[in-house]
Chains A and B, each alone.
Chain A
Amino acid sequence: SQQGEEDPQALSIQEGENATMNCSYKTSINNLQWYRQNSGRGLVHLILIRSNEREKHSGRLRVTLDTSKKSSSLLITASRAADTASYFCATDPDRGSTLGRLYFGRGTQLTVWP
């Protein structure tokens, strides 16, 4: 399978704590993206990290990429109840036949309690 797999499937924390979600994949990639989905809504693009990048920040989000381990992590610092959502990683495999589409994982359900 070319899709990423998120870990854990579910994560429950208190407001103010940090949340870390992981994504593992199997093929070489051009880039990896993270998305958030609030209940009943479409996915929202959060951040893209290229295969030659190791870390990227956006506000309270920090994404790391380790291509040697074929894994990525998404860290949300100082979480808020509004961060409650499902988080998906999506990979763009480095294979000509699959150019033009991303492969999404099953997601991590994050619950942040007030």
Chain B
Amino acid sequence: DAGVIQSPRHEVTEMGQEVTLRCKPISGHDYLFWYRQTMMRGLELLIYFNNNVPIDDSGMPEDRFSAKMPNASFSTLKIQPSEPRDSAVYFCASSLGFSGTGGFNYGYTFGSGTRLTVV
């Protein structure tokens, strides 16, 4: 398997523009997570999906952020309009989740991330 695939790897955009980040999870993984990483705030969970359904979006900073998972093999994170404070590395991760007992007992597989710079 090619792992979790994110695109683009780098994105530089002007303030006010729409930004769309893309993620292809590992086939068969039924959990998908979007994280944001900055030096100041560390790794923040934005939203996660189980079987394509959003489970918890409480980490989405504002209405400017939206995420979709139209099918099991694709998810997008959209920022509209973008602002300089959105500059960060955005990671997508997927996981099998549960094996039946004992909690969330599979690891996450992370993509290589999208480095977003809003100027």
List chain A positions with a Cβ less than 8 A from chain B: 29-31, 33, 35, 41-45, 48, 50-51, 88, 90, 92, 94, 99-102, 104-107
CB-defined contacts of B18 to chain A, threshold 8 Å = none
B101 nearest in chain A by CB position: A30
Please report the C-alpha to C-alpha distance between residue A65 and residue B97 in the assembled complex, in whole angstroms. Answer: 21
Q: A30-B102, A48-B107, A50-B102 are in contact. Are A41 and B50 (CB under 8 A)?
A: no
Q: Binary interface profile of B, 82-106, with partner A (CB < 8 Å = 1, else 0)? A: 0000000001010001000011111
Q: A31-B104, A41-B113, A48-B105 are in contact. Are A100 and B43 (CB under 8 A)?
A: no
Q: Give residues 105-119 of B contacting A (CB, 8 Å).
A: 105-113
CB-defined contacts of B102 to chain A, threshold 8 Å = 30-31, 50-51
- Can you name 18 A-B residue pairings with CB atoms under 8 Å? A30-B102, A30-B104, A30-B105, A33-B107, A41-B112, A41-B113, A42-B4, A42-B91, A42-B110, A43-B43, A43-B93, A45-B108, A48-B106, A100-B48, A100-B55, A100-B104, A105-B42, A107-B43
